[in-house]
Amino acid sequence: MKTFIFFSSIVLLLSIDIEAQEIEKKPKNYLAWCRMISPPITQQGRIFSLTDTSIIFIRSTKYEPNTDYTNYDYIIIPYHKIKYVITRKDNSVGKGILIGGLTGAGTGLIAGLLASISHEEETHTPYDDGNNYEGMGVFLATASGAILGITIGMIVGSVKTLIKINGDKERFTTVKPKLNKYAIKPN
């Protein structure tokens, strides 16, 4: 039996990298804001690609997977006009709210249930009307956890990445690999 488990574990460890078929990678899904030095305007959209001296920017915030992106409005922004670029994963605020709310509600539900179980002893006070309010405590703990989780998830999901360039060629070439991570078609 030990040899069977040993050989089975070796086979499983060696088969980690085996794929039945190639999985097609989706295009990157990042929103971007490019603030220019002069004139001081901000372009919103997506980073399509990078060249040695500029960023090719799509002025669309709509995400369409498996698109050739030829029908979009492009703008080529040279490095000497870029003050900074801000990026954020598309729909990260919504996902943060969903995950935070569900986690908070689950934690609040467990805390409320544990608190209601600990009050097994019946103690009557002169002000006790005989009603059982344990279910209300569980509900309030769940609602409080959900509200707290939604707030934290919204804050975490709205975090953006700031990449400063300030029109400097050396700074642009330094941050180019970082910008390439956010491009739809990296170089």
Within a domain: 43: yes
The predicted structure's pLDDT at residue 123:
56
Q: Comparing 45 with 5, which gets the higher pLDDT?
A: 45
CA distance 163 to 182: 11
Instruction: Tell whether 52 and 106 lie within a shared domain.
Output: no
Mean predicted confidence (pLDDT) in 109-113: 85
Instruction: Tell whether 145 and 65 lie within a shared domain.
Output: no
Instruction: Tell whether 104 and 66 lie within a shared domain.
Output: no
Mean predicted confidence (pLDDT) in 156-161: 90
Tokens of 115: 């608190």
Instruction: Tell whether 51 and 102 lie within a shared domain.
Output: no
Within a domain: 40: yes
The predicted structure's pLDDT at residue 165:
92
Within a domain: 14: no
Q: Could you tell me which residues come within 8 angstroms of residue 15 by beta carbon, excluding any fewer than 6 positions away?
A: none
Tokens of 81: 């006009």
Main-chain phi, psi angles of 71, to 5 degrees:
-95, 10
Mean predicted confidence (pLDDT) in 101-105: 92
Residue 120, pLDDT > 70, answer no
Identify the domain containing residue 149 by its residue range.
92-117+134-157
For 45-81, how does the pLDDT look when each residue is reduced to its tens digit (9 = 90+)? Answer: 888 889 889 998 888 767 666 566 667 788 889 999 9
Instruction: Tell whether 85 and 168 lie within a shared domain.
Output: yes
The predicted structure's pLDDT at residue 46:
87
Within a domain: 15: no
CA distance 87 to 53: 19
Instruction: Tell whether 165 and 84 lie within a shared domain.
Output: yes
Amino acid present at 26: K
Residue 130, pLDDT > 60, answer no
CA atoms within 13 A on the CB side of 182: 26
Within a domain: 16: no
For 72-99, how does the pLDDT look when each residue is reduced to its tens digit (9 = 90+)? Answer: 788 889 999 999 999 998 888 889 999 9
How many distinct structural domains can be found in the chain? 2
Residue 134, pLDDT > 90, answer no
Instruction: Give helix 134-157 / helix 92-117 axis angle, nearest 10°.
Output: 160
Question: pLDDT > 90: what percent of the chain?
Answer: 29
CATH number (domain holding residue 42): 2.30.30
pTM above 0.75, yes or no: no
